[in-house]
Chain A
Amino acid sequence: MTAPLLDVRGLKKHFPIAKGLFHRVTGHVRAVDDVSFTVQEGEALGLVGESGCGKTTTARCILRAIDPTEGSILYRMRDDSVVDLAPMSVGELGPLRKEIQMIFQDPFGSLNPRMTLFDNVGEPLLVNGMRRRRERMDRVAELLRLVGLRPEFMHRFPHAFSGGQRQRIGIARALATGPRLVVADEPVSALDVSVQAQVLNLLLELQSRLRLTFLFVAHDLSVVRHICDRVAVMYVGQLVELAPTDAVFRRPRHPYTAALMRAVPVPDPRVPGSDAILKGEVPSPASPPSGCYFHPRCMFAEERCRQDAPLLQEVTPGHFARCHFAGELQLGTGQAA
């Protein structure tokens, strides 16, 4: 097995809480707190969790849109040399930008409304050295065809397109420089139901065609189930479970993952809603509970959970969970087959 394309080790991002007139730092929001995982080339890893769990911050650290506080982000280059993205300066990151690209959630805010499709999609090409307009036009036309849009649309402005079409344009822009790693931040959650499937299929097709590696940030478990090979579940800045998709959905090992699955309403009136609903609310990452962060809401919590913070342990090969009782619990997902 070759080295992973992306190897995140001990990633931390702490935002200072400043108070008062002199902006004195009174504490830290531990948005991402010691997260480690790997992504193999050609794989799709899903990063799931509820709002505020740190999944988007993790993704933005990897993209170096924000600077991580600690940890390393090891990226394997095409020549198999490994570089650490975490400490790089803006200048050093320059040549790496075309390797790692992003697909945004909001199809309306992510395209510059004042630029045509050609300028929007062609910009990464231009700033990465493709100076000749003719050449760029050919490449943009090719990209638009790739995402299922007519190349004649190149001179239109984004306002002429629907949400789903704009999302395709955003995908075309992300693919312009031929990236190997694509970070997709909730790419379908802002789209209408009837259009979501189109974009999901497109992402799947592009992945196998271009041998892309996906880091897929989402809150919708059914979307993740559909796209991803492996799933990482986050809760209050930490990974609580990391495993192959089928394994997670067949038998979750962390009570939070199971609760998350039970909470998804099933589109079938004959399947009754689960009674075992998770109580309480997500704690603030500025003042997380003692011991296991999940213990105040966990129906299996014991004295030990209140005191000892569990470690991410391998329950079965390739299946990790951050729970003292990961091996023993029989967790149901509440979803009928």
Chain B
Amino acid sequence: MSDIQTIGAVAEDRIAVASNWTLVWWRFRRHHLALFSAGLLICMYLVVLCPEFFSTQNPERTDARQAFIPVQALHFFDDGWNPWVPAIVGKRNPVTLRMEWTTDPQRKVHVSFFTPGEPYSVFGLFQTNIHLLGAVDPAQRIFLLGSDRLGRDQWSRIMRGTQTSMTVGLVAVTLSVIFGVVLGGISGYFGGFTDQVIQRLIELLQSVPTIPIWLALSAALPRDWTPIQVFFAITVILSLVGWTTLAREVRGRFLALREEDFVLAARLAGCSRMRIILRHMVPTFLSHIIATSSLAIPVMIINETSLSFLGLGIRPPAISWGVLLQEAQNIQTLALAPWLMIPGLIVIVAVLAFNLVGDGLRDASDPYSH
């Protein structure tokens, strides 16, 4: 036999024993944009795990004398590998009496990777002071993305904000999925009266205008709650509305799957109701649920950002992307310190990445469709 046929046979064997998840991965792999976005999101969730490591400073450290410092761009080479940022030169404007900062590329502040700095604890388990990046001279402060009106380092604040915002998205969607799958599953599998009640509830929730209800709920949060309490309250509020679409989807899938031949075959084989749901129905739409959830996360992130931007979500001193954007609320700051818009850019990138990954997953999630 020719070689070609042997190779063909091997390839076929590999497909023959490939499980559903392997097939999904093979198809997902072909979406280059989605793959790239997934890499980006993994990086962002690394930040979520330990924002302090990626920070250069304490995000809450204020210094009024160092307000509105512009971006100090990171350079890697200076006669070979020797990273540096340009130094900041300040001059008081004699008319406005405001400090005006400029960067001076002639004077270099040398920085290095994995350098000691501010001590912090990792997951509350052990103490360390190693940061990804820091000035060689510990007395120097560096502002990779500039500073805000209180002289706080925006880079470090974005790291902390990423942790909050990305976590809110994930937790809110997880809660939505739990509500959605359980209620949608009950609705779809049992049908009848239960189904009617749940469907009417969903319609009620969906017909309530979301923004006012969020505003009302978050305004009702006691002022004296700790940032952690507020954080969880916000995620619950966000997921309260988010689960309805998922529940609809799950119910639809359940109804469609109930009619599938292989589900009937399982029934005729004598499988219990629970076994049919867990072994046959849930795995069939699990990949769809994952795809739908990854498309729901960016919505949650946007919602959180909007709420916080309006001052009704997460409140300072806690930091989220929305809180950071509050700094960019007036036209004067925008004109003077355009770098304060950078958190908005981060939101856009994150939301786009989630959408691209979600699209890729959705396309790949049904490897038997063709």
Interface residues of chain A, those whose CB is within 8 Å of chain B, are 63, 65, 94, 97-98, 100-102, 104-106, 109-114, 116, 123-124, 127-128, 153, 155-157, 159-160, 170, 173, 176-177
Contact = CB atoms under 8 A, between A and B. Distances in A.
Contacts of B264: 65, 102, 104
Which 5 residue pairs are nearest across A and B when measured between Cβ atoms?
A160-B16, A124-B269, A97-B270, A110-B261, A156-B16
A113 B265 contact: no
A106 B269 contact: no
Nearest to A104: B261
B271 interface: yes
Interface of B: 12, 15-20, 23, 260-262, 264-272, 275, 279-280, 283-284, 367-368
Given A157-B19, A159-B15, A102 B270 contact: no
A281 to B, nearest CB: 27
Contact of B20 (A101, A113, A153): A113
A193 B368 CA distance: 24
Contacts of B12: 160
A130 to B, nearest CB: 12
A101 B279 CA distance: 20
A127 B269 contact: yes
A109 B260 contact: yes
Given A97-B268, A124-B269, A127-B271, 7 more contacts: A98-B270, A102-B265, A110-B261, A114-B19, A159-B368, A160-B12, A173-B269
Contacts, number: 77
A128 B261 CA distance: 20
A123 B271 contact: yes
Given A114-B283, A127-B272, A173 B265 contact: yes
Contacts of B272: 127
20 contacts: A65-B268, A94-B270, A101-B268, A102-B265, A102-B268, A104-B261, A110-B261, A114-B283, A123-B279, A124-B270, A127-B270, A127-B272, A128-B269, A128-B270, A153-B16, A157-B19, A157-B20, A159-B16, A160-B12, A173-B265
A160 B15 contact: yes
Nearest to A94: B270
Point out which of B16, B23, B284 has the most chain A C-beta atoms below 10 A from its C-beta.
B16
Contacts of A176: 269
Nearest to B275: A127
Given A104-B261, A110-B261, A156 B271 contact: no
Contacts of A98: 270
A4 B363 CA distance: 53
A156 B17 contact: yes
Nearest to A66: B264
Nearest to A124: B269
A112 B262 contact: yes
A109 B261 contact: yes
Given A97-B268, A97-B270, A123-B269, A106 B261 contact: yes
Given A65-B267, A127-B269, A109 B262 contact: yes
A208 B272 CA distance: 32
Contacts of A101: 268-269
Contacts of B368: 113, 159
A92 to B, nearest CB: 12
Contacts of A109: 260-262
Nearest to A96: B270
Contacts of A124: 269-270
Contacts of B17: 116, 155-157, 160
A63 B270 contact: no
B16 A157 contact: yes
Nearest to B15: A160
Nearest to A111: B262
Contacts of A157: 16-20
Given A109-B260, A159-B15, A160-B12, A114 B268 contact: no
A157 B20 CA distance: 9
A158 to B, nearest CB: 9
A63 B266 CA distance: 13
Contact of A112 (B23, B270, B280): B280
B19 A110 contact: no
A135 B27 CA distance: 36
Nearest to A97: B270
A103 B168 CA distance: 49
